[in-house]
Amino acid sequence: MTITTRFAPSPTGRLHVGNIRTALHNWLWAQRNGGRFLLRIDDTDAERSEERFVEAIHADLAWLGLAPDAVVRQSERFALYQRRFDALVEAGRLYPAYESAQELDLKRKILLGRGLPPVYDRAALRLTGAERAALEAQGTHPHWRFRLDHDAPLAWDDLVRGPQSFDPATMSDPVVRRADGSWLYMLPSVIDDIDMGVTHVVRGEDHVSNTALQLQMFAALDAPAPAFAHAALLTGAEGKLSKRLGSLGVDHFRGSGIEPQAVRALLARIGTSDPVEPLVEAAPLVAGFDFSRFGRAPARFDEAELAQLNARIVHQLDVATVADRLPAGMDEAAWNAVRPNLSTVAEAAGWWQVIEGPVSPPEPDAEDRAFLTEAASLAATLDWGADPWHALTGALKAATGRKGKPLFLPLRRALTGMDHGPDMAALLPLIGRERAVARLGG
C-alpha cells in the first residue's frame, strides 16, 4: 500500500498559517513513508472560488518547498459525484428534505429552548410521495441529507487524539447537497478520498465531528475508511485562539523577511514533544515526523519565536541560496562577513552600504580624534593582504596604551558609523585601505 495524503484547500482566499501547517503535516507524512502528497482544489463553490487564489495556492506551496505529486480539482469531478450520489439515493442513504433555512432555524431554537440537542428530526422522511410532489410543484426544491445509521457506532483510533467515539443518534443527518444542486464539503471529499486512494486524512481537530459522519459515508460506498490524524489547532502567543492567525500567510512571512525553511522548521515541531530547531534542510524534519509525538493541547504559534528561528536559519544560508536577493556587487566574502549579524537576508543591503560607504559616524571628542588620526597614518602603512584589523589594533595598542573598548569602539564607529556589527577582522578587508584611511582620517 502506498501511503497517500492530500491537502484540500478551497480557493476562496489566501492560505493562512493554519492551512500551511496542515499542508506541511500531509507532505511530511508522505515523505516519511515514501508515499504521495496530493493537492486537491476544493472549488465546488463556484461563486466564491477564484482562479487567482488557485494560482496563489500553487505559488505558496512552491515557496515552502511542498511540491504535490498530483493535482485534482473538484470542479472537474462532478460527473463522478453524480454517479455516487445516484447510487446512494438508490440505496436509501440519501433523502430529499424541503425545509427552508428559516424553518430549520426555528426548529433548532425550539429544541434548544427545551434543553434538547438541536438534532434534525427527520421530518422529511415522513413525507409521502404525494406531499413531496406537491412541494416541488410549488417550486420548492429539496436539499439532500445523508441518512445516518443510528445502530452503527462511529468510532476510530485517531493517530493524534487516540480512541474517538460518537453516538450517531445525537447527530443530525448532514446536508450533502444544496437545493440549487451545488455540493457541500462532506460527500465529495469522501468520494475523492476513495477515488484518489488516500490512506491518511491529516487535518485540524475542528474536523473531528466531520470525520465521525464521514465514516458512515465510506461504509455506504463500500470503501474502507482511511486513517485519521487530527492535530490540535494553533493559538496565538497570548494563548487564545487568535483571529490574527487567519491573516498570517506566505505574503506576510515573505514581506517580513522570513525564510521558508524557518516556517517549515517551526510548524513541523510546534505542538509536538520535539524541540523546535533551526533546520535548513527538510530531511531531519521528515525523519522525525511522527503523529505519536503530537500533544492534545493547542499548539502555540509565536511570531517572535519564528523571527528568532529565522535569524538562526539565515546564519546558515550559503551565498548561492541568497545571491538573487543580495545587492549588486556583494560577493561571498561580504555575505559571510555580515551573515552572523542578520535577522533577515534583506538586512544585508544595510551592511553592504556600510562597506561601500559613505558612512556617517558620530563626531569624536578631541582625544579620540587624535587617536583616529594616528590610526589613519598606521592604516596607510599596513599589509592589507594579511590581517589588517589585528595588525592595526596591535600597533595602536602598542603606540597609545589603549585596550578594550577605548581601543576598539572609536575605530568601529569611524569605520562603520555603528557601535556594533560584524566582526571587524572580516569587515575591514572589505572596506579596503583607501576607504578605511579616509574614514579614520575624518
User: Using one digit for the tens of pLDDT, what is the confidence trace for 382-418?
Assistant: 999 889 999 999 999 999 999 999 999 999 999 999 9
Q: How far apart are CA 14 and CA 91, in angstroms?
A: 39
154's grid cell: 462511529
Decide if 357 is inside a domain: no
- Are 346 and 374 members of one domain? no
Per-residue pLDDT band for 205 (boundaries 50, 70, 90) equals very high
- Do residue 65 and residue 88 come from a single domain? no
Angle at 88 between CA 84 and CA 90, to 5 degrees: 115
Percentage of the chain lying above the pLDDT 70 cut? 99
Handedness of CA 299, 305, 309, 312 (dihedral sign): negative
With 90 as the cut, is the pLDDT of residue 442 above it?
no
Report the alpha-carbon distance of residue 347 to residue 341 in Å, rounded. 9
Q: Same domain, yes or no, for 270 and 298?
A: yes
- Are 207 and 137 contained in the same domain? no
Is residue 419 one of the residues assigned to a domain?
A: yes
pLDDT score of 343 more than 90: yes
Q: What is the pLDDT of residue 241?
A: 62
| pLDDT at residue number 357 | 94
Residue 167 contacts residue 209 (beta carbons within 8 Å): no
Q: Residue 253 and residue 307: Cα distance in Å, rounded?
A: 10
- pLDDT at position 247 is 82
Residues 279 and 406 in one domain: no
State percent of the chain over pLDDT 90: 95
- pLDDT over threshold 80, residue 243: no
Q: Indicate whether 359 belongs to any domain.
A: no
* Same domain for 163 and 41: no
Query: What is the mean predicted confidence (pLDDT) over 238-258?
Result: 84
For residues 353 and 282, give the distance between their C-alpha atoms in angstroms, rounded to a whole number: 33
Would you call 41 helix, strand, or coil by DSSP? strand
For residue 380, tell me if it sits in a domain: yes
pLDDT tens sequence across 354-376 = 999 999 999 999 999 999 999 99
Return mean pLDDT, the chain. Answer: 96
Q: Would you say residue 210 lies in a domain?
A: yes
pLDDT at 1: 87
**How far lies 203's CA from each of 158, 200, 230, 373, in Å?**
11, 10, 5, 66
| Residue 263 located in a structural domain | yes
* Residues 310 and 323 reside in one and the same domain: no
The pTM (predicted TM-score) of the whole model is 0.92
**What confidence tens digit (pLDDT) does each residue in 282-297 have?**
999 999 999 999 999 9
Instruction: Tell me which residue range forms the domain holding 305.
Output: 243-314
Query: What pLDDT shows up at residue 242?
Result: 67
Residues 260 and 119 in one domain: no
243 is in an annotated binding site: yes
DSSP letters along 176-227, please? EE-TTS-B-SHHHHHHHHHHTT--EEEEEGGGHHHHHHHHHHHHHTT-PPPE
Structural domain includes residue 360: no
The average pLDDT across 192-203 equals 98
Whether pLDDT at 240 is above 70: no
Cβ distance 279 to 267 under 8 Å?
A: no
Is the pLDDT score of 239 beyond 90?
Answer: no
Sequence-distant (6+) residues with CB within 8 A of 46 are: 75, 182
Question: Looking at the structure, do residues 323 and 303 belong to the same domain, yes or no?
Answer: no
pLDDT at 333 over 80: yes
Lowest mean pLDDT among 70-84, 147-161, 233-247: 233-247
- Residue 244 in this model has a pLDDT that exceeds 90: no
Nearest to 66 by CA among 253, 198, 203, 263: 263
Residues 21-62 pLDDT 10s: 999 999 999 999 999 999 999 999 989 999 999 999 999 999
Instruction: Tell me the C-alpha distance between 80 and 370, whole Å.
Output: 85
CATH number at residue 29: 3.40.50.620
Same domain, 52 and 115: no
For residues 173 and 90, state if they share a domain. Answer: yes
Place of cell 480557493: 11
Domain count, the chain: 5
Please tell me whether residues 412 and 376 are part of one structural domain. Answer: yes
Q: Is residue 358 part of a domain?
A: no
Residues paired with 163 in a beta bridge:
157
Confidence of residue 237 (pLDDT cuts 50, 70, 90): confident
Closest residue by Cα to residue 3 from 69, 58, 62, 74: 69
